[in-house]
Structure 1
Amino acid sequence: METTAPETTLTVSVQHLALRLPRGADRDYALADLSFDLPAGEILCIVGESGSGKSLCAQTLMGLLPRAISVERGAALFDGIDLISVDAATLRTLRGRRVGMIFQEPMTALNPSMRIENQIMEVFEAHDLLSPAERRARALDLAREVQLPDPEQAIKAYPHQLSGGQRQRAMIAMALALEPALLIADEPTTALDVTTQAQILKLMREIQRRRNMAVIFITHDFGVVSDIADRVLVLEKGIVVEQGAAREVLSNPQHPYTRALLAAVPSGTPAIRPDAPEQPVALAVTNLNKSYRSKAGMFGAVRSVRAVKDVSFEIRRGRTLGLVGESGSGKSTVARLVTRINEPDSGGIELGGQDYRALRGEELRQQRSRIQMVFQDPFSSLNPRRKVGLSIADGPIARGVARHEALDNARALLGLVGLDARSADRLPHEFSGGQRQRIGIARALALEPDVLVADEAVSALDVTVQAQVLKLLDELKRRLNLAMLFITHDLHVAAQVCDDIAVMRFGEIVEMGPTRDIFLNPQHGYTKQLLAAIPGSVRRH
């Protein structure tokens, strides 16, 4: 007997939406003539680089536009109600009850001083629904639905006591509490590990199908698009350049910008690297250990957590070792130990054959220049009130280089990383995220290090900017004959830049070897699990 699919009704219709930017912006419109229809039961992925207007579309639908941005024309109809012109009281009623939203960073969206249970219950309280006992029971039901581990205990926790993936699950529970017809998810998996991301995407897809919701999923990751989207809309600087069925857009993109975005996606296939003469060992780490002591509450028992357990590896000049693993695996702790930002409990660190752990005082200060670090967030690591030329020159000046010479070298380094030398006289906020990361690299290179440590240096960047920075790092490594420790949770990225890979889990290296061997013939079960969790591959063009 034939079965017919359930009839869907139109949930969202955005018509000729134009958002005007304030005077002096880089363009007139944040969004220009945006139109799309989204029926119930479908997932629309809105894709584009930072500044393309993706998040502003979500903010418009939620009535959360910044005051500096105005709606010049257009409508955003939700079940016949124009979300742009509706009165504030009606909009408050719709939020949560009919339209839910998941934000990119749950740690900033959740109240740090409230338990998860109370934050979920607050959704019902705001709409004057259910009794206190019913709200508590429903909060627990939602925690189970989003598969929070040990839900009875998890909802009693504060946000900082949960992992990133658990906090995102709590945000999803809050967004789903009132069973909205429309769910808006703004980059909800960008900061998550590959395995956690895979779990969240699977969970969202299951819930969306079960509840027949319409979902607007905002992302810059085409791997995520291929996993979750029914349809795709591509934005470039506020203009829709392409939209259509996900399969069609991914396999046969029509617009050059879409093709460029797809071409910038790391393929996940390790690059074939030419054999090179074996060079001296720049960094050798032997049996490195680090434990942290923590206390459960004001009067709780003190417990010791081994963050790094007997970690050993070496990196030769001209080569990159990728340290990969999930959050909490110990990757960043290793970075802080080898640079001696933190001190290990035991183990050896040698720089070019010299015992780096034995150095103290002035001798250590002089030798620190030999190993430099590029941080994940260049904006927070740069002084916002200091011109970038001075930020780059500070290290050499502190080591006795004349100020004018250090500033001349800073301008030369800006040119080396692909920026105009005149950029030296600008402040950090005047640059894009990718440009700030280039400045961070220039600052690290100012001290002419032998070893460069890049800690999640491209994780926050758009796919096209990420590709540019990865290419830059690889070129600099070869040109300057650097050894590089590249820390990432993104195996696609590791495949592009790393000669060798070490896989970390719970503070230990569980597998290590040449990149192609790790990808094509993984031996450890955890490595296989990480590779299996990479978001769906997309066809390259």
Structure 2
Amino acid sequence: MEHTAPRPVAVSVEHLALRLPEGADRDYALADLSFTLPEGEILCIVGESGSGKSLCAQTLMGLLPKAIRIERGAALFDDVDLIDTDKATLRSLRGRRIGMIFQEPMTALNPSMRIEDQIMEVFEAHDLLTPAERRAKALALAQEVKLPDPERTIKAYPHQLSGGQRQRAMIAMALALEPALLIADEPTTALDVTTQAQILRLMRDIQRRRGMAVVFITHDFGVVADIADRVLVLEKGVVVEQGTAREVLDTPRHPYTKALLAAVPSGTPPERNEVADAPVALSVSGLTKSYVTKKSLFGAGRTVHAARDVSFEIRRGETLGLVGESGSGKSTVARLVTRIIEPDGGRILLDGADFGAMRGEDLRNQRSRIQMVFQDPFASLNPRRKIGLSIADGPMARGMKREAALQKARELLTLVGLDPRSAERLPHEFSGGQRQRIGIARALALDPDVLVADEAVSALDVTVQAQVLKLLETLKARLNLAMLFITHDLNVAAQVCDRLAVMRSGEIVEIGPTRQMFLEPRHEYTRQLLAAIPGGAHKTLPQDA
């Protein structure tokens, strides 16, 4: 039998221990972390929020927050210990030998510089190439990462690009000096399913072509299944399991790994009871909304049809999923039906009443019947206001006395699985999953008939996401709610939605029962979305079910 010679090691981390500041929930952010990554392989580091994944990346880049202290350990790369070396050596390695792609390119890119100048700046920082050569190289990199119309796109500012285009620009910057090691920290978390698939394929292609080693940090096991050669699982800073992707995904040994995999939405829609006889809670017909964009680098202002003749209905006890890529109009529809923004045309009926035509006092009285759970609960909560009061604000605005409203807030906190005593705490004292539960409690405070959840679980790690989805299902059944569930994650939609409406360019191109849509999608765009699901979970759906 032939034996392949082992590949040279690109980076080796040995017994790394990062101590957290006094008062933290544990002593070590990372405790005795060790791994080796050969050249030309992708290591996925997975775990829940707070497990220490990103701190591992920051350690390798020399970008650890000052509050976190390296107590011991080594990180060997290019015969240099990245932990025990001077800042000048680290600066020379960053960019030139080690590249990094950040989770949110909008915060990592300079908003006041054109993309071309930001790519060229990488060469300038290392005093490489002439200005003309830098410009040519920036264009070549834009072409390699498949930016559309690269000659014009690199002249744009970050805010003029889509999320996927900004991430491609970040990849171009990270690859500019052809690093031997690439660190990618949740680079596809905020992207819709088709853009995510494109970015993953792009990264895998470039990685193979250049023979790079990649440390890829993620909480998405679908992504792991698509790209990983090796997997390392972290729980609260401790390595509980590591091995080849096949070993970890197919035969996990540790209970924590098993729990993470069990929490992953399967992509197989369960059988659901029909609610055809239930009363219609929300009916939307012919909804339209257009915007005229400002004149930009790409030409004169143009009309964007965010919603075009959108029609659907949701019955009590039913969840309708609204799915599609970024920019398809999903969130616009959410804001239209809740009257956060006004439609150009169409009707919105709540239990048969013309909610879309209401004004003044009538509108204020009826707003309570349709409430929204936002994607980022921290941004939607007053950081200086105790969460009990934030929940009680709605009932108090409708005339309920303060003490009665606060008592209702405590009852709602219990309902969503939180300690009622937490009403006295501030938003920053809660985890992301807990804040999302608070957001749900606040939405329920006005006893709505319809709940609109706009990407309400997209920022949560897999186990917390599973808990929040289960909570939403329980509350829907218990309170007989109608729910409009907006998501770009089709695996999530498969688990919670009775029916799906697929949006593209402001239009609903297909609508039907979720299981039927997964088994027999009729529209080509729906088939493209299903094919782009990371890990291909939907492909295992039994055809004779």
TM-score (normalised: structure 1) = 0.98
- Shift in Å, 1:295: 1.5
Match of 2:394 in 1: 395
SS where residue 536 of structure 1 aligns? Answer: helix
Q: Which runs of 5+ in 2 are unaligned?
A: none
Contact 1:11 1:78 in 2 (8 A): yes
Match of 1:305 in 2: 304
CA distance in 2, matches of 1:81, 1:126: 21
Match of 1:322 in 2: 321
Contact 1:198 1:535 in 2 (8 A): yes
Deviations 1:255-308 (A, max 9, x none): 000000000000000011134561110000000000011111499744221110
CA distance in 1, matches of 2:24, 2:507: 49
Match of 2:383 in 1: 384
- Return the letter of the residue paired with 2:325: E
Tell me the percent identity: 80
Deviations 1:417-461 (A, max 9, x none): 000000100000000000000000000000000000000000000
Match of 1:442 in 2: 441
CA distance in 2, matches of 1:290, 1:335: 12
Contact 2:52 2:237 in 1 (8 A): yes
Match of 1:260 in 2: 259
Contact 2:156 2:297 in 1 (8 A): no
Match of 1:12 in 2: 11
SS where residue 530 of structure 1 aligns? Answer: helix
Match of 1:118 in 2: 117
Match of 2:191 in 1: 192
Deviates more, 1:337-346 or 1:359-368: 359-368
1:78 aligns with 2:77: yes
1:238 aligns with 2:230: no
Match of 1:207 in 2: 206
* Superposed CA RMSD: 1.6
Match of 2:339 in 1: 340
- Return the letter of the residue paired with 1:425: E
CA distance in 1, matches of 2:489, 2:299: 36
Deviates more, 1:357-366 or 1:516-525: 357-366
- The 5 A counterparts of 1:93-104 are 93-104=92-103
Deviations 1:481-539 (A, max 9, x none): 00000000000000000000000000000000000111110000000000000001469
- Shift in Å, 1:10: 1.1
1:297–1:31: structure 2 CA closer, same or farther, 3 Å change rule? same
SS where residue 67 of structure 2 aligns? Answer: coil
SS where residue 169 of structure 1 aligns? Answer: helix
- Return the letter of the residue paired with 2:348: I
- Return the letter of the residue paired with 2:322: L
Match of 1:162 in 2: 161
1:48 aligns with 2:47: yes
Match of 2:357 in 1: 358
CA distance in 1, matches of 2:201, 2:44: 15
Deviations 1:188-214 (A, max 9, x none): 000001000001101111111111100
1:278–1:297: structure 2 CA closer, same or farther, 3 Å change rule? same
Q: Which runs of 5+ in 1 are unaligned?
A: none
Contact 1:267 1:537 in 2 (8 A): no
SS where residue 97 of structure 1 aligns? Answer: coil
- Shift in Å, 1:85: 1.0
Contact 1:100 1:183 in 2 (8 A): yes
CA distance in 1, matches of 2:356, 2:113: 43
1:219–1:399: structure 2 CA closer, same or farther, 3 Å change rule? same
1:193–1:39: structure 2 CA closer, same or farther, 3 Å change rule? same
- Return the letter of the residue paired with 2:55: L
CA distance in 1, matches of 2:8, 2:51: 29
SS where residue 191 of structure 1 aligns? Answer: coil
Q: How many residues align?
A: 539
SS where residue 468 of structure 1 aligns? Answer: helix
CA distance in 2, matches of 1:277, 1:60: 55
- The 5 A counterparts of 1:126-525 are 126-276=125-275, 278-297=277-296, 301-525=300-524
- Shift in Å, 1:91: 0.5
SS where residue 19 of structure 1 aligns? Answer: strand
CA distance in 2, matches of 1:72, 1:4: 39
Contact 2:276 2:315 in 1 (8 A): no
SS where residue 157 of structure 1 aligns? Answer: coil
1:404–1:215: structure 2 CA closer, same or farther, 3 Å change rule? same
Contact 1:10 1:79 in 2 (8 A): no
CA distance in 1, matches of 2:103, 2:434: 22
Contact 1:47 1:220 in 2 (8 A): yes
CA distance in 2, matches of 1:489, 1:43: 26
- Return the letter of the residue paired with 2:199: I
SS where residue 68 of structure 1 aligns? Answer: coil
CA distance in 1, matches of 2:359, 2:264: 44
Contact 2:235 2:256 in 1 (8 A): yes
